[in-house]
Amino acid sequence: MTKWWAIALVIICTLFTSTAQLFLKFGSARLPLLFWNWPLFAGMVLYGVGALLLIVSLKGGDVTVLYPIIATSYIWVSILSMTFLGERMSFLKWAGVFAIMMGICFIGWGSKRNSATKLTEVS
């Protein structure tokens, strides 16, 4: 059974990595400057923190439950891009975001159903 704290850590991980994407975007405008490019450095650090959070969270649950939650990064990046970069979301992009959310829900529901089935088989 996947623990709630593992799910929370993966969600926090996606927030870190999505924010890292923005910093990498900001840092790309300053290329080829690498050493004093603080947005690029911040993006890499945030990716590292996200990786550490994911590693810790994997200790608390099934990979088949936790890893699909990383797909929420697409949702966060879309929202952050609209907010901070002024990018527009078309109907098809929103449909994709909805499909991602539904896919994550289906995986969660399927995992609960499999856990309940296993418990009844053991009893």
pLDDT digit string (tens) for 24-77? 999 998 888 877 899 999 999 999 999 999 999 999 988 888 888 898 898 999
Query: Is 0.85 surpassed by the pTM of this model?
Result: no
| Confidence band for 112, pLDDT divided at 50, 70 and 90 | low
Range of the domain at 87: 4-122
CA-wise closest residue to 54 among 46, 99, 25? 46
Q: How many CB atoms lie within 10 A of CB 21?
A: 17
Per the prediction, the chain carries an average pLDDT of: 88
Count how many domains the chain has: 1
Q: Are 43 and 49 in contact (CB under 8 A)?
A: no
